[in-house]
């Protein structure tokens, strides 16, 4: 009886470890997917900003627009790191 309980506890502990490892792996994959999507979004944003900046001919307005875009990206990156 005692041996059976020990065996069952051991089997449950192994199953718990297996499930935890599977969960961790799924979370790692999900994080990798989200990081990739974020990097793609960031690249598209930077490309769009570059296109807009190129379209702006007036130097002063162009500099202001670049500065604003950089600040926005820094804010987004900071928020992403906090999350």
**CA 48/CA 56 separation, integer angstroms:** 13
Could you read off the pLDDT tens digit of each residue along the chain, which spans 83 residues?
Answer: 888 999 999 999 999 999 999 999 999 999 999 999 999 999 998 898 888 877 776 777 778 888 898 898 888 888 888 87
pLDDT in the model for residue 29: 97
Q: What is the pLDDT of residue 39?
A: 92
The confidence score (pLDDT) of residue 79 equals: 84
Q: Where do the H-state alpha helices sit in the chain?
A: 2-55, 59-82
Cβ(66)–Cβ(51) under 8 Å?
A: no
pLDDT on residue 76: 84
pLDDT at 52: 81
């Amino acid at each position: 009886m005692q041996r059976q309980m020990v065996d069952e506890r051991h089997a449950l502990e192994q199953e718990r470890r297996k499930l935890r490892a599977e969960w961790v792996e799924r979370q790692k994959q999900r994080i990798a997917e989200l990081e990739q999507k974020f990097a793609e979004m960031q690249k598209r944003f930077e490309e769009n900003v570059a296109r807009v900046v190129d379209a702006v001919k007036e130097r002063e307005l162009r500099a202001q627009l670049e500065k604003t875009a950089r600040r926005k990206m820094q804010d987004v990156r900071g928020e992403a790191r906090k999350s």
